[in-house]
Structure 1
Amino acid sequence: MPNWSDPRNAGVNAATVGVPRAARDAGLRSYMLSVYNYMASGVLLTGIVALLFVQSGMVNSLFNPATGGPSLLYWVALFAPLGVVMWLQIGINRISSGTAQGLFWAYAGLLGVSLSTLFLVYTGTSIAQTFFATAAAFLGLSLFGYTTKKDLSGFGTFLIMGVVGLFVAMLLNMFLKSPALNLAISAIGVLLFAGLTAYDTQRIKSTYFAVAGQGAAMTKSAVIGALQLYLDFINMFLFLLRFMGDRR
């Protein structure tokens, strides 16, 4: 199977040559709809798991009752999603489309466990308000990425380097505990993942022409595309929550 997950290979597929423009557009719309459906289902699953953990009281099991610090389950919930997402991204060309779908939903569910702790820090109202603000921004940015004629590929390296620098700054501020740096990190984080939303949407759109007509490859590329947009949404939400969130 060709490495369709490499954006450098997102060119014109032989399967699309000679296909009427209307048919290509219909195929692209169907493909993008499947990406958004996967992405939306992942966000919904994350939210449901987080709410269930909070309402059932299971969120308390993430902390050691004797010390108040993180329990073993907390560290499992924190690092298990990382292992799942690495398995999905690295092994995407070897696993079946069904396995890819299962790993995506497993990742979304596991992340819901770790994000349930947000309800212990922020009020439910502010979390809901931030979620809807993020959803509105995401829709606008993704629509821009889908419809714009401007090539956004030149921004990709800049945005990814920015994300790396952002997380280095976050690690540094764990020791400095600077309110000013924390505010700057939040602002830059929102802007970076806003840019990545538009960039990733355009890249996913381009990927369609590399996998069109390839069955399982289309399904797996749609899952990977959904994962990219899911991560953009979740990270934009988390950084925006640092701005808009009302702490308990």
Structure 2
Amino acid sequence: MNNFEQQPRRVVNDVSGLNGFLTRMYGWMALAVLVSALSAFYVLTQPSLQQVFLGGSRLLPLIVWFVIPIVINFQAIKRPTLSFILLMAYAALTGGIFSMYAMIYSGATITSAFVSSASVFVVMALFGTFTKRDLTGVGNQAIAALIALVIAMLINLFLQSQLIAYVFSFIGIIIFTALTASDSQKMKTLYNQSGGQVSVTGLAVIGAMQLYLDFVNLFVFFLQIFGGFGNRD
């Protein structure tokens, strides 16, 4: 009798815990996007900071920008609070680095890119969270395609073909659309498999970091398409 009485309560607790985890993860991801936007705006109002992010000394911020996600992935479970702080710092740093786009593209172009990337992100995140289909294969294929795309983009740095870069932007959108869905499902699966044995806060930080990167890349590729690769409207 007690087993039958406790089972529904456990299911409710599991659902409640999952909902809390997803709310925390997506909430922190959205907060990171907001921090990036505010950081970009602030850098544009400070000439001294523009020299740091856009001038000859920008190499150091770029190095830190590549290192922080690695640190977060390795430390999030052990040091969730520190990792959350690093996530917000990374978002601020990204905003500073990406502030250069405001000098290249018009406000209308940036707005269009943001709305488009946000729309795609929300739809695919919801799909990945609630679909019953296993998206593991989709995610693996998207990662393989991303590696190939990065190599091709590096080659195009020497070719300087705008047409090829334009095509790559569409491919990039497809890749990160798939990754948004697969990463959303992956984080949900990781939470369900954790059984409370790892830090939920740490998992949420890892998920927020990954989804933030998915969103940022969607935004950049949409921006390149709408902006015609550097031509202001």
Q: TM-score, normalised by structure 1?
A: 0.84
Residue equivalent to 1:239: 221
Residues 59 and 116 in structure 1, CA contact (< 8 A), matched pair in contact too:
no
Quote the offset at 1:211 in angstroms: 2.8
Q: Find out whether 1:31 has 2:16 as its counterpart.
A: no
Q: Choose which of 67, 77, 101 in structure 2 pairs with 1:83.
A: 67
Q: Find out whether 1:188 has 2:171 as its counterpart.
A: yes
Quote the offset at 1:23 in angstroms: 2.2
Quote the offset at 1:104 in angstroms: 0.9
> d(CA) in 2 for partners of 1:51 and 1:38?
20
Matches within 5 A, 1:206-221: 206-214=189-197, 217-221=199-203
Residue equivalent to 2:3: none
Q: Indicate the RMSD between aligned Cα atoms, in angstroms.
A: 1.9
Quote the offset at 1:232 in angstroms: 0.3
Quote the offset at 1:91 in angstroms: 3.1
> d(CA) in 1 for partners of 2:203 and 2:20?
13
* Aligned-partner SS, 1:20: helix
- Shift in alpha-carbon separation, 1:96–1:63, aligned structure 2, 3 A: closer
CA deviations 1:191-222 (Å, max 9, x no partner) are: 000000000000011111133434x6110010
Q: Choose which of 54, 61, 66 in structure 1 pairs with 2:51.
A: 61
Q: Find out whether 1:22 has 2:12 as its counterpart.
A: yes
Paired amino acid for 2:215: F
Residues 53 and 61 in structure 2, CA contact (< 8 A), matched pair in contact too:
no
Residue equivalent to 1:9: none
Residue equivalent to 1:11: none
Unaligned runs of 5+ in 2: 1-5
Paired amino acid for 1:189: G
Residue equivalent to 1:71: 56
Q: Choose which of 106, 118, 136 in structure 2 pairs with 1:135.
A: 118
Q: Find out whether 1:179 has 2:162 as its counterpart.
A: yes
> d(CA) in 2 for partners of 1:89 and 1:213?
18
CA deviations 1:78-100 (Å, max 9, x no partner) are: 2211121121123334x421111
- Shift in alpha-carbon separation, 1:176–1:71, aligned structure 2, 3 A: same
> d(CA) in 1 for partners of 2:133 and 2:53?
48
Residue equivalent to 1:92: 76
* Aligned-partner SS, 1:151: coil
Quote the offset at 1:58 in angstroms: 4.2
Paired amino acid for 1:175: F
Quote the offset at 1:62 in angstroms: 4.2
Residues 212 and 218 in structure 1, CA contact (< 8 A), matched pair in contact too:
no
Residue equivalent to 1:164: 147
Q: What is the identity percentage for the equivalent residue pairs of Structure 1 and Structure 2?
A: 32
Residue equivalent to 2:30: 40
- The total of aligned residue pairs comes to 224
CA deviations 1:142-171 (Å, max 9, x no partner) are: 111111111101112211111111111111
* Aligned-partner SS, 1:189: helix
Matches within 5 A, 1:140-151: 140-151=123-134
Residues 28 and 208 in structure 1, CA contact (< 8 A), matched pair in contact too:
yes
- Shift in alpha-carbon separation, 1:121–1:59, aligned structure 2, 3 A: farther
Residues 109 and 227 in structure 2, CA contact (< 8 A), matched pair in contact too:
yes
> d(CA) in 1 for partners of 2:114 and 2:83?
27
> d(CA) in 1 for partners of 2:117 and 2:155?
26
Quote the offset at 1:59 in angstroms: 5.5
More helix by share: 2
Quote the offset at 1:55 in angstroms: 2.7
